[in-house]
Chains A and B, each alone.
Chain A
Amino acid sequence: MLVVEDLAKTYPGATTPVLDGVSLSVAAGETVALTGESGSGKSTLLHLVAGLDTPEHGRIAVGGADLAPLDDAGRAALRRDRIGLVFQQFNLIPSLTVEANLAFQARLAGRTPDLGPLAARLGLSDLMRRYPEELSGGQQQRVAIGRALAAAPGLILADEPTGNLDEATGDAVLDLLMELAETTGAALLMVTHSERLAARLSRRVHLSRGRLT
């Protein structure tokens, strides 16, 4: 589902590259934890894979589609159609209800998702008419996960999705994320600081000084 080959990136003005020859592949249904110290390039790698930034050289393909020839609009379309992103900050649209937030990305992609089963699985059925500010952190992150999954992406990218949650809530959110990835056959690449959470995924890769170990 995701193939990354010999990826390199140096930020303007920096002397050392933040990523230096990174290669990685994640198959459909596989869950991979990406760990590493702060500043090791984890979030940069995730942003490059999502097409939010462009690499210096190297190849990225999502579901067989190469990112390099795509312009901004093309990468946005790929992100909308094939990638679900979950962040530490939940990034819910404050003026929309839970229901509208859940359907948001799918509607951008031109689909009308059947939210009933997804909302039930996420435990959000009774909260559909509420607004994000009326929800707890765990509930908000469940909405964010639901939004990423409602568009039925082949690849889920999660950047510290449990970083703002307490341990018990974080565990529940991760359970849900893994279960949904498994049932939909989506590949999951998750950045995390936590050794404990990383151990629960099917594979783990460690980024250090811009290289995978």
Chain B
Amino acid sequence: MTRLLLILVLIVAALFALSLLVGPAGFGPAQSLDALLTGRGEAVALVMREIRLPRALLGAMVGASLGLSGAALQGYLRNPLAEPGLIGISSSAALGAVIALQTGLAAAFAAALPLAALAGALVAVLLVFLLAGPRGGSLTVILAGIAISALAAALLSLVLNLSPNPFAVSETVFWMMGSLADRSFTHVWLALPFMVAGWIMLALTARGLDALTLGEDAAGSLGLSLPRLRLLVILGTAAAVGASTAVAGAIGFVGLVVPHLLRPFVDGRPGALLPASALGGAALVLAADVAVRLILPDRDLKLGVVMAFVGAPLFLHLIYKTRRATA
């Protein structure tokens, strides 16, 4: 377990460094690191500190948020197909962002888009609680999430449908594909408090998720408070994934695939899967964001698109493995 975490930390650190060193400006590694650490060489330092560092930081933060939320949701719902998108957080955050883009708010001031996305995530959480009721179990939460996802998707289509401005539509469509390009420290500082709050809440669920492997009744008999566990999982996911969507757009598959890949290495312990999935998610998003810059350096290839191309085959492989195991 500790060995697994150590290996993952090393992989994340290596990919983080790689992310700092890859880009169209074509600086050498020594020059880049020197500029980053000492500030020597004005242009290089500017690129390193204002463009590449926030991008790499956001890659790690967004990936950790998605991986951690996916692992927590799969543990809480006891369903390996659960992912952050399932409870309607991502689509509602996207809806908030799209409204900001379409109304011109996003053009008026930079923080409007991520703030609107966070507001969307918050509305989704309130609706999940309202629909699931005070004593709703995990199934009610899934159903409420699906209803909210569907509603947000419908409203999103409506906004695009009625949009008077074709440029805003194309901007919106590209935004929804997810990207870390051209992000600044404003985005890092905006997302970080929400993400840290979300990470703390999700980390507190580890023991409860282990107990939940016995089923809700038996876990409750040990004195586990199911309403509190539910509150932590939903609020934690909303804060972490809402903030991720706000700064990076919709990035799928991370929350679904990463916990799947790492589960065998933690003997199926949902509590131990949380830190491993956070690190695994960070590694996957950092790797994909490096790939985006290497595959088509001249085109603005979107992170969400690459992630779907990485995620779909991985998922097909998992299906094949599951089928073989159950055959």
Please give the residue numbers on chain A whose beta carbons come within 8 Å of chain B beta carbons, in ascending order.
50, 52, 71-73, 76-77, 79-81, 83, 85, 87, 89, 91, 93-96, 104-105, 107-109, 147, 151
5 more CB-based (< 8 A) A-B contacts, given A80-B223, A81-B223, A93-B213: A52-B220, A76-B220, A93-B211, A95-B270, A96-B269
CB pair B228 A93 closer than 8 Å: no
- Taking a contact as CB atoms closer than 8 A, the residue among B213, B221, B222, B225 that contacts A73 in the complex is B225
Which residues of the partner chain B approach A81 to less than 8 Å between Cβ atoms?
223
A52 lies within 8 A of B221 (CB)? yes
A95 to B224, CA, bound (A): 17
B208 cross-chain contacts in A, Cβ below 8 A: 108
Please indicate the chain A residues that have their CB under 8 angstroms from the CB of B211 in the complex.
93, 104, 108
The yes or no answer to B317 lying at the interface (CB within 8 A) is no
- B269 pairs with A73, CB closer than 8 A: no
B210–A96 CB distance below 8 A: yes
In the complex formed, the residue of B with least CB distance to A71 is: B227
User: With a CB–CB cut-off of 8 A, which chain A residues contact B226?
Assistant: 72, 76
CA–CA, A198 and B223, complex, Å:
27
Minimal beta-carbon separation of B233 from chain A (angstroms): 15
The A/B interface has a contact count, at CB < 8 Å, of 70
Known contacts A72-B135, A104-B211, A95 near B223 by CB under 8 Å: no
The interface size of chain B toward A, counting residues with CB under 8 Å, comes to 23
Q: Do the beta carbons of B221 and A50 come within 8 Å of each other?
A: yes
- Tell me whether B268 is interfacial, beta carbon within 8 Å: yes
Please give, as numbers and ranges, the residues of chain B lying within 8 Å of A93 by CB-CB distance: 210-211, 213-214
Q: Which of B200-225 contact A (CB under 8 A)?
A: 207-208, 210-211, 213-214, 217-218, 220-225
For B213, list chain A residues within 8 Å (CB). 93-95
Asked if B267 is at the interface of the complex by the 8 Å CB criterion, the answer is yes
**With A and B bound together, what is the CA distance between A41 and B220 in angstroms?**
20
> 7 nearest interchain CB pairs?
A80-B223, A76-B225, A95-B269, A79-B223, A91-B218, A73-B225, A85-B221
Residues on A with C-beta less than 8 A from B269 are 95-96
- CB closest chain-B residue, reference A94: B213
A72:B225 contact, CB within 8 angstroms: yes
Q: Which residues of A contact B220 (CB under 8 A)?
A: 52, 76, 79
Q: Which residues of B lie under 8 Å from residue A108 when comparing CB positions?
A: 207-208, 211, 222-224
Which of B135, B210, B268 has the most chain A CB atoms closer than 10 A to its own CB?
B210
Q: Give chain A nearest CB distance to B141 CB in angstroms.
A: 15
**B210 contact set on A, CB distance < 8 A:** 93, 95-96, 104
How far apart sit A94 and B218, CA to CA, in the bound complex (Å)? 13
With a 10 A CB-CB cut-off, give which of B223, B224, B270 has the most chain A CB atoms: B223
Query: In the assembly, what is the distance between CA of A141 and CA of B202, in Å?
Result: 31
